Amino acid sequence: MSGGLVIAGLGPGDDALVTPEVSAALERATDVIGYIPYVARVADRPGLVKHASDNRVEIDRAQLALSLAAEGARVVVVSSGDPGVFAMASAVFEAVEAGPVAWRALDIRVLPGITAMLAAAARVGAPLGHDFCAINLSDNLKPWAVIDRRLRLALEADFAIALYNPRSAARPEGFARTLELLREACKPERVMIFARAVSTPEEDLRVVALGEAAPGMADMRTVVLIGSSATRIIARDGTPLVYTPRSVPV
């Protein structure tokens, strides 16, 4: 069996959300590469080498994966969620484009996974049940002005919005600015969902009105969903149901 590179999504945390396709790829792997907590999710077994690395070294990790695959290893790069949504797949393709031409001939496959916004949405109902967008709130790799502009246009389009990487200790101010922007553009009743560590033992879900939202409700393990103007709440005992109707009235 010749080498190759699989970029696999492990979903948000619960093994019951890992697709059989991903599980099978992990069983065939000789090498697993990724951020420490994701690599830790893969069971040890004889013949499997685990290469765990710290955050923010995506390109190093991608180059290692491609080098090993080129030497004949069966490499799986693991991401949480879906590897194509603010995760490792783009980093690998950046490395392919910048790397030796031989890397383009490798057998490279991306295996999708359950991305955080869809796992979070499912937990509370169907807040992304109509047109929506996903924005990475980290300004490590793009200027804040781009994020600001996209947020404003997304609100003008009345999309439901999923915010990835909303707030870290190193850059707490972006999410605070986002809340200010939302308060300028939306009514205080606008529905927000703070979904932390969905499907893990640390899961924490909050459905709040924009008027009650506070910056400290989000961290790097949180995905934040913002309803469109049409998003509705169905009150009941416990966490309410939240959904966005399929119809937009004429």
Shortest distance, CB of residue 247 to a second copy, whole angstroms?
A: 4
Shortest distance, CB of residue 75 to a second copy, whole angstroms?
A: 17
Question: Alpha-carbon distance 13 to 70, whole Å?
Answer: 30
Sites for a second copy among residues 160-219 (CB under 8 A):
none
Note whether 76 binds a second copy by CB under 8 A: no
Burial class, 140, CB count within 10 angstroms (exposed 0-12 / middle 13-18 / buried 19+) = exposed
Note whether 57 binds a second copy by CB under 8 A: no
**Alpha-carbon Rg for the chain in angstroms:** 20
Note whether 49 binds a second copy by CB under 8 A: no
The 232-234 sheet, strands edge to edge: 125-126, 241-243, 232-234
Cβ closest to a second copy, residue 7 vs residue 68: 7
Shortest distance, CB of residue 196 to a second copy, whole angstroms?
A: 17
Q: Which one of 27-35, 40-48, 109-117, 202-210 is the stretch in contact with a second copy (CB under 8 A)?
A: 109-117
Cβ closest to a second copy, residue 53 vs residue 136: 136
Note whether 102 binds a second copy by CB under 8 A: no
Residue with tokens 């009941």: 236
Q: How many helices (H) and strands (E) does the chain have?
A: 7, 13
Question: Alpha-carbon distance 232 to 113, whole Å?
Answer: 28
Write the interaction track for a second copy spanning residues 19-38; mark x where CB under 8 A is met and - where it is not: xxx--x--------------
Shortest distance, CB of residue 159 to a second copy, whole angstroms?
A: 6
Shortest distance, CB of residue 70 to a second copy, whole angstroms?
A: 14
Cβ closest to a second copy, residue 142 vs residue 187: 142
Note whether 77 binds a second copy by CB under 8 A: no
Amino acid at 69: A
Assigned token pair, 138? 């980290």
Residue in 218, 27, 26, 214 with CA at minimum distance from that of residue 120: 218
- Select the residue interacting with a second copy from 3, 48, 50, 126 (CB under 8 A): 126
Contacts of 182 (CB under 8 A, 6+ apart): 151, 155, 190, 210, 213, 226
Note whether 107 binds a second copy by CB under 8 A: no
Q: Which one of 8-16, 43-51, 165-173, 189-197 is the stretch in contact with a second copy (CB under 8 A)?
A: 8-16
Burial class, 171, CB count within 10 angstroms (exposed 0-12 / middle 13-18 / buried 19+) = middle
Cβ closest to a second copy, residue 105 vs residue 169: 105
Note whether 141 binds a second copy by CB under 8 A: yes
Question: Alpha-carbon distance 18 to 77, whole Å?
Answer: 14
